Amino acid sequence: MERITRAADRVHRPAGPWTPTVHRLLGHLHEQGFVAAPEPIELGHTLETVSFVPGVAGEYPWTEDIASEAALVTSARLLRHYHDAAATFPLDETRDVWSQSVRIPVETVVHGDFAPYNCVYDGIQAVGIIDFDTAHPGPRVWDVASAVYRFAPFTTGQVEGSTAPTLDERLSRAAEFCDAYGLDQDSRARLAPTMVSSIVALVTTLESEAAAGNPKFVSDLQHGHADLYRADVAYLEDHLDVIARAVA
C-alpha cells in the first residue's frame, strides 16, 4: 500500500478512481482564487502529486492554539470560502467520479471530512484545507454538521491532550461555528440530525472498507472506532433538541 510522502514543497499521495475529478476540482478552486487548497501537479496510475500547504495540521492532541475559539472561527470562515468557490465547479455526470455518493440537494462540492486534522493552521489562523479524497457534490450542511461534530466536539470519548468539554461548552462552540460560517436558518434546523447521518455513514464506510481488507479501516475497527461512533450517535440522539435550540 502506497503511503503519503513529502519532498520539499510537493506531497505524493495514493491515487484512486476519483483522483482525476478531485484534481479538476483543485484546479478550479485555484482558478477561483481559493489558494488554501493543494494545487494539483501530477497524476500517475497509483500516485498523485499535489503542492504542500504550509502550516500545522490540527492533529490530536490539540495545541492551545488549535483548541482556541479563534481557530474554530477561522476554520468556519475558511469552510465557507471553500464552499463558495466549489459551488461553481462544473459538474459532469458522464465524467465525474467521486469516492462518496452524491447527496441531495447539491449546493456545492463538499469536502466530506472537514475536521481539525484536515485543516492547516498558522497559529490560531486556519490557512488551508487538505485531503480531498472524500469530496463529492452535496449540501453545505453536510460539511458544517461534520465540522461541528469534530470542533465542538460532540464525541463521548476523550479528546487526547484536553479535558472533556461540558455540554454547554459544546453547544456554545457549535453555535459559534454556525455563526462564523453564516449558515442559513433551514440548514441550522437540519444540523443536528445531519450530524447523526454523517456519523452513521462514516460507520458504514468503516465497516465496508474493513470487510474489503483496507488495512487502515481494519486497524480503525480493531481499535474500537465503530463502537465510539455508535456511542456518539446515541449521545447526539439524546441531545437533538438542545443542539437544535443552541444553533437556531
- Domains in the chain (CATH in brackets) are 56-247 (3.90.1200)
Per-residue pLDDT tens over the stretch 132-151? 999 999 999 999 999 999 99
- How are the residues of the chain apportioned to helix, strand and coil, as percentages rounded to the nearest 5? 50, 15, 40
In the structure, what pLDDT confidence band is assigned to residue 17 with cuts at 50, 70 and 90?
very high
Contact 76, 177 (CB under 8 A): yes
List the one residue out of 115, 120, 135 whose CA is nearest residue 51.
Answer: 120
Look at residue 234 and tell me whether its pLDDT is greater than 60: yes
Q: Give the CA distances from residue 104 to residues 17, 68, 101, 182, 207, in Å, rounded to whole numbers and listed in that order.
A: 22, 33, 10, 20, 24
Q: What is the pTM of this model?
A: 0.95
The string of DSSP letters for 104-142 reads SS--EEE-S--SGGGEEEETTEEEEE---TT-EEE-HHH
Look at residue 65 and tell me whether its pLDDT is greater than 90: yes
In this structure, are strands 56-57 and 108-110 parallel, antiparallel, or unpaired? unpaired
Q: What is the pLDDT of residue 1?
A: 47
Look at residue 160 and tell me whether its pLDDT is greater than 90: no
Within 8 A by CB and 6+ apart from 154, the residues are 148, 170, 174, 195, 232, 235, 236, 243
